[in-house]
């Protein structure tokens, strides 16, 4: 097991290198450059200023030459400045944007998991019942509706028509005091959390139901019942413990996926998180912010893949990687 983990950990480095090359090349080949935004926002910007900044930032060199400069600085912890906000790109992403995304994504994943696992179990245990048909119907709707459309519909219903919840942003300006701020922040979280958790909730419920149905009629489950074990014990200890294995992989892989998929949700609800930062950085050609954010998400994908393998061994002792 230890040798396997070492091999997997060492594979992360070349994988990240290839990913960084692809991302940097795509951003560099995008039309425009970071200086265009400065030129559009400053009427006194001259051609001489443009040429000077192009040389200052090394934008007159081919992208693959600039990439090696970026790698050298990144290896020392310097990911370059955010030309839009005038601060280090890493500081802007990790200090001002990542905490908001962690709050939104964490709540979304927690709510989706807490609802999806027991709902999928009950749907499988009550197969072909009215409850099962209702859950299946709702799940198909959940996986079919685009998340940005669902977010807009939530805003239209609860913010425009009913005027119950705020339409977006992080908090209401002018709110003071600890508890008023907490309550206000919670109200702003309801709609984006509902939109972001809906897709994962529907997907996990379907997987949990299918996994339970595969296991519930196996021989060792019949044997456990024949021994006289209580049905609750058979369901929790034998059926659910094995049925939840596929969900472990889904949850582990969903964490970075939800963080990257939050781009649409954060854009629709104007939530100042890392997903919105990626979208804005690409639009205004703030390449350093985009590189930091996308590389961080890529690292999360690789690490949580490894974490899923480790959890598999812990939950199911029959699995070995030796």
Q: Which CATH superfamily is domain 93-315 in?
A: MetI-like (1.10.3720.10)
Q: How confident is the model at residue 37 (pLDDT cuts 50, 70, 90)?
A: low
- Taking only the tens place, the pLDDT of each residue in 48-63 is 777 777 777 777 788 8
| Mean pLDDT of all residues belonging to the chain | 83
| C-beta separation of 35 from 50 below 8 A | yes
SS3 88: strand
Neighbouring C-alpha atoms within 13 Å toward the C-beta of 61: 12
Top-confidence residue, 233 or 101 = 101
- C-alpha closest to that of 134 among 196, 205, 214, 235: 205
Per-residue pLDDT averaged across 66-93, rounded? 87
pTM of the model: 0.82
pLDDT exceeds 90 at position 198: no
**What are the DSSP calls for 3-40, one per residue?**
HHHHHHHHHHHHHHHHHHHHHHHHHHTSSS-HHHHHHH
What percentage of the chain carries pLDDT values higher than 90?
15
- Taking only the tens place, the pLDDT of each residue in 266-299 is 888 888 888 888 888 888 888 889 899 899 988 8
- Domain spans, the chain: 17-78, 93-315
Residue 268: per-residue pLDDT: 87
Per-residue pLDDT averaged across 36-43, rounded? 69
Sequence-ordered list of residues with C-beta below 8 angstroms from that of 40, at least 6 positions apart, any chain: none
Top-confidence residue, 45 or 280 = 280
Residue 137: per-residue pLDDT: 92
- C-alpha closest to that of 247 among 193, 214, 210: 210
What percentage of the chain carries pLDDT values higher than 70?
93
pLDDT exceeds 70 at position 319: no
pLDDT exceeds 80 at position 262: no
Residue 261: per-residue pLDDT: 59
| C-beta separation of 274 from 97 below 8 A | yes
pLDDT exceeds 70 at position 182: yes
pLDDT exceeds 80 at position 103: yes
Residue 133: per-residue pLDDT: 92
Q: How confident is the model at residue 144 (pLDDT cuts 50, 70, 90)?
A: confident
Q: How confident is the model at residue 321 (pLDDT cuts 50, 70, 90)?
A: low
**What's the rounded Cα separation, in Å, for the pair 62 and 286?**
18
Residue 55: per-residue pLDDT: 78
Q: What are the C-alpha distances in Å from 2 to residues 6, 7, 321, 322?
A: 6, 9, 9, 8
């Amino acid at each position: 097991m230890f040798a396997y983990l070492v091999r997997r950990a060492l594979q992360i480095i070349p994988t990240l290198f290839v990913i960084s090359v692809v991302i940097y090349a795509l951003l560099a080949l995008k039309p425009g450059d970071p200086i265009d935004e400065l030129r559009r926002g400053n009427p006194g910007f001259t051609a001489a200023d443009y040429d000077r900044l192009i040389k200052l930032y090394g934008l007159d060199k081919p992208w693959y030459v600039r990439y090696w400069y970026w790698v050298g600085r990144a290896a020392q912890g310097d990911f370059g400045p955010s030309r839009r906000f005038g601060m280090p790109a890493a500081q802007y992403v990790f200090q001002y944007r990542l905490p908001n995304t962690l709050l939104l994504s964490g709540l979304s994943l927690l709510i989706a998991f807490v609802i999806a696992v027991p709902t999928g179990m009950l749907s499988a245990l009550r197969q072909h019942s009215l409850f099962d048909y209702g859950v299946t119907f709702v799940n198909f709707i959940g996986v079919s509706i685009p998340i940005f459309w669902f977010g807009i519909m939530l805003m239209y219903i609860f913010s425009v028509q009913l005027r119950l919840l705020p339409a977006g942003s992080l908090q209401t300006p002018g709110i003071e005091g600890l508890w008023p701020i907490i309550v206000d922040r919670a109200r702003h979280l309801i709609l984006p959390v509902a939109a972001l958790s809906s897709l994962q909730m529907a997907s996990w419920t379907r997987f949990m139901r299918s996994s339970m149905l595969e296991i519930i009629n196996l021989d060792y489950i019949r044997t456990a019942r024949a021994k006289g074990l209580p049905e609750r014990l058979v369901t929790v200890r034998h059926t659910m413990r094995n049925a939840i294995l596929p969900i472990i992989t889904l949850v582990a892989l969903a964490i970075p996926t939800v963080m990257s998929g939050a781009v649409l949700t954060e854009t629709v609800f104007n939530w100042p998180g890392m997903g919105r930062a990626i979208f804005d950085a690409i639009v205004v050609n703030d390449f350093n912010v985009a590189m930091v954010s996308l590389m961080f998400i890529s690292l999360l994908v690789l690490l949580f893949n490894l974490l899923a393998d480790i959890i598999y061994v812990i939950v199911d002792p029959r699995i070995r990687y030796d």
